[in-house]
Structures are given as C-alpha cells and as structure tokens.
C-alpha cells in the first residue's frame, strides 16, 4: 500500500517510528506551524512516495517531525487539492500516510470564507460538521462510514479549553478553484453552511474510514462572496494567515499539548 510506503519513508527520514498526532496545515496556517516547535527534520513532499508538490501559493510542501512535550507530532505543511487536478485518493494520501505513520488523531486546518453573520476575518472557527459539495469521495466499495460526530466533540471541547472564545461552524467543501458567486453563497447559507472552502472534507472522510479522530479549524480569511460586496483574492487569504499566525500557533500548540 502506498500510504505504508510513504509512512516508512517518513520513519526513515525522521528517525521516528510512530507519530501519534498529525497536523495538516492549509492556506494561511504555514507560519503558525513555526510556533508549534522546532522541526528536527524537513522533508520535501515530492520526495515521499505518492505525494505531489503542492502548487497552491502559500503551501510550503514540506513534512516535519516536531516534538511537543517530548511526543513527536507530524506536520504536513501544505496539501493536494482537487482543483490542482488531483484525484480524491491523491488528496487524502496525506492523512492515510499520517495514519499509517501511527496517527490516531489528525488536525485539519484550512482557510475559509465566513458565511454566517457574526464571523470575523482573522477568527479561527472549530469545524462542527461538514457538507461535502465536491461530489467526490475518497472511498471505494461498500465502505459505509458513519459520519455522525465525525468532527470529534471531545477534541472540540479540548480546543475550547485552550481558547474559550472559539466558535463552531459547519464547513461546506467545494472543489474551486474559482471563488463562489454571491448566489452560491446564499444557497450555502440556506442549506446550513457557516464556512466555505476548497479542501478538508475528503481528508476528514478518509480519516473516519480508518478510525482516526479528527479536529478541524478554519481560519476565516475573508467574508464569503456577496456578504459585503468586496472582491475576493488569494493574497488576502495569505495576508490574514500572516496576521493571525501568533494566535493560531498558540492555539495549535495548546491543543497538541493536551492531546
């Protein structure tokens, strides 16, 4: 299995046999990783079996092993997206590898547009549930995975111990790469979405299929299309990540210390 091969390569390069926790750092979250701890190793994703090199700007494309309270945490800086032309199996190869490398808990982070009234740019929001609008799945065959409490309630409570001001929201995952139209955002609001983005949902499904616990945190990098009439840009997404990095880093570190 490709994930097992990739996990073996990571074990060899890091000298660590088992990483019990993995973090996927998406757009806007790369700098926050620096706050987690000193990476002992840096592996270019392209050198690990099955990984492509991320093409999205703001995705570093490296894998690190970082000790947190003496326990090694696997950091995956950047991810593969459907909009880059990757198939679902390639998109979730990161989390399948992390789980093969020993991860029982996976933290998924991303940048998202805020749909719900009251969400602020620069605010991290816990993902309480998702709506998979990619119309794709990483699963093949009769793999009828239960997605009730897919976004682990205990892990969310633990994150709120670190930052009691965190709110929760439903994340709608679309393929992108174009941002949504204001009409699409009105539809998403109507069907119950609070946040919108172009990643994460397939990874969460793959994690649940393998029994790993999932915590998701979206950084609201902009208000969704039509909410204010402002135009959207990836530069804004990255700038907000930069501004929020210290807060996000402390949040991640606090969560990792408690897992």
Known binding residues for phosphate are: 27, 59, 79-81, 111, 199
**Alpha-carbon span 142 to 149, nearest angstrom:** 20
- Residue 75 pairs in a beta bridge with 23, 64
According to CB under 6 A, which one of 180, 184, 194, 203 is a site residue for ligand HPA?
A: 180
**Alpha-carbon span 138 to 76, nearest angstrom:** 19
Between 116 and 253, name the residue whose CB sits nearer to ligand HPA.
Answer: 116
Catalytic residue among 6, 27, 130, 179: 27
**Is residue 134 a contact residue for ligand HPA (CB under 6 A)?**
no
**Is residue 125 a contact residue for ligand HPA (CB under 6 A)?**
no
Burial class of 52 by CB neighbour count within 10 A (0 to 12, 13 to 18, 19+): middle
Contact between 113 and 232 (Cβ < 8 Å): yes
**Is residue 197 a contact residue for ligand HPA (CB under 6 A)?**
yes
Residue whose C-beta lies closest to ligand HPA: 113
According to CB under 6 A, which one of 29, 103, 179, 201 is a site residue for ligand HPA?
A: 179
Joined tokens for residue 232: 């959207």
Catalytic residue among 22, 45, 56, 59: 59
88-89-92-95 Cα dihedral, nearest 10 degrees? 170
Write down how long the chain is. 259
In whole angstroms, how close is the CB of 248 to ligand HPA at the nearest point?
A: 14
Residues at the annotated binding site for a purine D-ribonucleoside? 180, 222
The residues that are catalytic are 27, 59, 81, 83-84, 111, 198-199, 222, 234
């Amino acid at each position: 299995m490709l994930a097992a091969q990739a996990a073996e390569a990571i074990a060899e390069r890091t000298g660590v046999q088992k990483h019990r926790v993995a973090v996927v750092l998406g757009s806007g979250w790369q700098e926050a990783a620096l706050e987690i701890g000193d990476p002992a190793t840096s592996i270019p994703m392209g050198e690990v079996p099955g990984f492509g090199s991320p093409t999205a700007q703001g995705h570093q494309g490296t894998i690190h092993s970082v000790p947190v309270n003496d326990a090694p945490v696997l950091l995956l800086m950047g991810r593969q997206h459907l909009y880059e032309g990757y198939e679902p199996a390639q998109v979730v190869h990161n989390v399948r590898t992390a789980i093969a490398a020993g991860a029982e808990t996976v933290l998924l982070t991303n940048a998202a547009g805020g749909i719900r009234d009251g969400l602020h740019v620069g605010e991290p929001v816990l993902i309480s549930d998702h709506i998979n609008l990619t119309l794709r799945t990483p699963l093949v065959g009769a793999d009828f995975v239960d997605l009730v409490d897919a976004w682990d309630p205990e892990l969310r409570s633990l994150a709120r111990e670190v930052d009691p001001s965190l709110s929760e929201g439903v994340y709608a995952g679309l393929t992108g790469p174009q941002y949504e139209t204001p009409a699409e955002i009105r539809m998403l609001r109507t069907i119950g979405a609070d946040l919108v983005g172009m990643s994460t949902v397939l990874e969460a499904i793959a994690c649940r299929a393998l029994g790993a616990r999932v915590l998701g945190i979206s950084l609201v990098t902009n208000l969704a299309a039509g909410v204010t009439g402002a135009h959207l840009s990836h530069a804004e997404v990255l700038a907000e990540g930069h501004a929020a990095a210290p807060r996000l880093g402390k949040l991640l570190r606090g969560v990792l210390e408690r897992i």
